[in-house]
Amino acid sequence: MVEEEEIPTHSEAVPENEPKGGMCECILVPIYWFKMLAMEMHWSFAFGVVMVYGVSQGLGGALSRVGTEYYMKDVQKVQPSEAQAYAGITNIPWLVKPIWGLLTDVLPIYGYRRRPYFIFAGVLGILSMLFLSLHRNQHIVLALLSLTAGSAGVAMADVTIDACVAENSGAYPSLAPDMQSLCSLSSSIGALIGFSLSGIFVHLIGPEGVYGLLTIPFGLVLLVGIFLREPQTFDFAYGQVNQKFLDAAKTMWKTLKCPDVWRPCLYMYLSFAISLNIYEGMFYWLTDSKAGPSFSEETIGYILSVGSVGSVLGAIFFQYGLKDHPFRDLLFWSQLLLGLSGMLDLVLVLRLNLKLGIPDSFFVVIDESISRMTGQLKWMPLLVLSSRLCPPGIEGTFFALLMSIDNAGLFSSSWGGGLLLHILKVTRTQFEKLWLAILIRNILRVAPLCLLFLVPRTDPNITILPTDLAITKEGAETPETENIELLPLVENMDGR
């Protein structure tokens, strides 16, 4: 292993002949920075981060989202409420992330803890996308099974690359922030490119053709599993796997029984579940030729790409101005802003923007950007709070459990939103009560303010856990992985 004093700093990693200024420097500095990370932690790790975060989750996630929306609307021809419920079903694999985390941590295959899971995720995704692409007029049950299998492939690759990032963060602590920056930048750039191209591809080759294209990101995940450098473990005691699973479960249950833990967890679940997601109703209206503005596939992709910029801005605002404020204060203002931003949808559906002389295309871009930014401002303090709730020794698995609780809230939000659309009879062609669904959703978005007493008012830099949980017991093993996860829910948490 390279000794700590030999790890080059950013200035040392850049050759002496690097340009010192101008446009050329702006282009070359990121290249040298990426090259430094690849040299320090092996090129296969940097390749894996870019492929999983950038191509699979970022670009592939954007293509999948837009393609699936049009697939449900134009191919399966389901109602908005049904599409809303189906979206919740396909996200079920994200509810069981602790299982993927435990598998990759304690159950090596042929002596490898990471590579086989990348390979399995890639193969599963390729087969599911090929099935959707090659079989036309697929029954909705088989289509949902394929979409859920593809979602499982993305979730498994996500957990596995998180574990790789955590291991390298422990081995190279001085480069941990750089690794997180690489993850974040890869995902953001991939999403921007994916959303920008998604509408064009849907228009040219249709939703099923887009699923065919998604075999490429899964194929690259498969390559990550083939080329990833990982030491092989021999003579692994497979008989102890059951005991390790049992010990981890006992520790998590003990932690969850602590009031300082279950109260914030309850708030995180309820704050997502209560804020009903009615996005499918809005999507059907936006693309309707009579009631709505009848946006094309290219316009929808452009709107979502600009919304990704709003998410990045929200993260920047939090990082440089809000990260040191108490949790309760941050969640109060972010939840309030999230509810107020939802009123823009009401203005749009009631066509008040046209009366003010604001074109639909411009107004929707502003609406999407503000909605994604406020959603990010709510999500970032919840991420920090989740990291503060993880006890020593099981940080990785417990963090994955907390993310699953948030995903369960999103699942409930999606199903609840579908039920609301069904009750109000918002269909493919009837949108008379869509404004009422938006109003109810906006009121419910503000409702979690009444539950803020569940969240500690403490400073983010102060330990939340009780002493008996916050201090590692003497002789306890140092955790091998610490799941540092910043982006997986960002694309799904928006409850428009």
Q: Which of 35-39, 175-179, 310-314 has the lowest mean pLDDT?
A: 175-179
Question: Using 50, 70 and 90 to split pLDDT, how confident is the model at 392?
Answer: low
3-state secondary structure (DSSP) of residue 465: coil
Question: Using 50, 70 and 90 to split pLDDT, how confident is the model at 176?
Answer: low
**Torsion sign (Cα): 110, 116, 119, 125:** positive
What is the per-residue pLDDT for 18? 47
Percent of the chain as helix, strand, coil, to the nearest 5? 75, 0, 25
457, part of any domain: yes
Q: What are the start-end ranges of the E strands in 391-492?
A: none
The DSSP code sequence of 89-111 is HHTGGGGGHHHHHHHHHH--BTT
The residue type of 416 is G
| Predicted structure pTM score | 0.76
25, part of any domain: no
Q: What is the CATH number of the domain that holds 463?
A: 1.20.1250.20
What is the per-residue pLDDT for 40? 79
**What number of helices (H) and strands (E) belong to the chain?**
21, 0
Taking residue 134's Cβ as centre, other Cβ atoms within 10 Å add up to 11
149, part of any domain: yes
- Condensed to tens digits (0 to 9), the pLDDT of residues 262-299 reads 888 899 899 999 989 998 899 999 998 788 898 988 88
Q: Which of 178-182, 361-365, 380-384 has the lowest mean pLDDT?
A: 178-182
Residues near 127 by Cβ (< 8 Å), separated by ≥ 6? 149
271, part of any domain: yes
The residue type of 289 is S
Phi, psi of 109 (to 5 degrees): -120, 120
55, part of any domain: yes
Q: How many CA atoms lie within 13 A of 32 on its CB side?
A: 18
Q: Which of 5-14, 337-346, 394-403 has the lowest mean pLDDT?
A: 5-14
Top-ranked range on mean pLDDT: pick from 89-98, 112-121, 147-156, 223-232: 147-156
What is the per-residue pLDDT for 241? 66
29, part of any domain: no
Residues near 285 by Cβ (< 8 Å), separated by ≥ 6? 291, 292, 349, 431, 434
Biggest alpha carbon–alpha carbon distance for the chain: 73
135, part of any domain: yes
Give yes or no for residue 180 having a pLDDT over 70. no
The residue type of 83 is A
Give yes or no for residue 9 having a pLDDT over 50. no
Give the domain extent around 352: 42-470
Angle 267-269-272 (CA atoms, 0-180°, nearest 5)?
A: 100
Domain count, the chain: 1
What is the per-residue pLDDT for 67? 93
- Condensed to tens digits (0 to 9), the pLDDT of residues 430-488 reads 999 999 999 999 999 999 999 988 888 776 666 666 665 555 433 344 344 334 343 44
Calculate mean pLDDT across residues 106-120.
83
The residue type of 401 is L
Question: Using 50, 70 and 90 to split pLDDT, how confident is the model at 211?
Answer: very high
207, part of any domain: yes
Residues near 11 by Cβ (< 8 Å), separated by ≥ 6? none
- Condensed to tens digits (0 to 9), the pLDDT of residues 213-239 reads 999 999 999 999 998 888 777 766 666
Residues near 14 by Cβ (< 8 Å), separated by ≥ 6? 29, 32, 33, 36
Question: Using 50, 70 and 90 to split pLDDT, how confident is the model at 96?
Answer: confident
